[in-house]
Amino acid sequence: MPSNAAARSRRCPLCGKPRDETYKPFCSRGCRDRDLNRWFDEGYRVPVDHAPDGGLDGDRFEDE
């Protein structure tokens, strides 16, 4: 339970600077745009680092 959670919520989630009322919860238009772009970007990007299931070969050894 961090006691500074309330204080942290007043800050820009991207860079941690004190947020601006105009661009809240961000500190500036730059950070707000950056966040929008991030969401936009993730919408197009397909997650490729999905580990395939069944990768048990490493722990399995044949008993000859």
Which residues does the annotation place in the binding site for Zn(2+)?
Answer: 12, 15, 27, 31
**Sole binder of Zn ion in the list 10, 15, 24, 33 (CB under 5 A):** 15
36 binds Zn ion (CB under 5 A): no
32 binds Zn ion (CB under 5 A): no
Q: Contact at 8 Å (CB) between 12 and 19?
A: yes
CB of 17 to Zn ion, least distance (A): 5
CB of 62 to Zn ion, least distance (A): 55
Rounded to whole angstroms, the Cα distance separating 60 from 43 reads 38
Distance, CA of 2 to chain centre: 20
In the chain, the amino acid numbered 62 is E
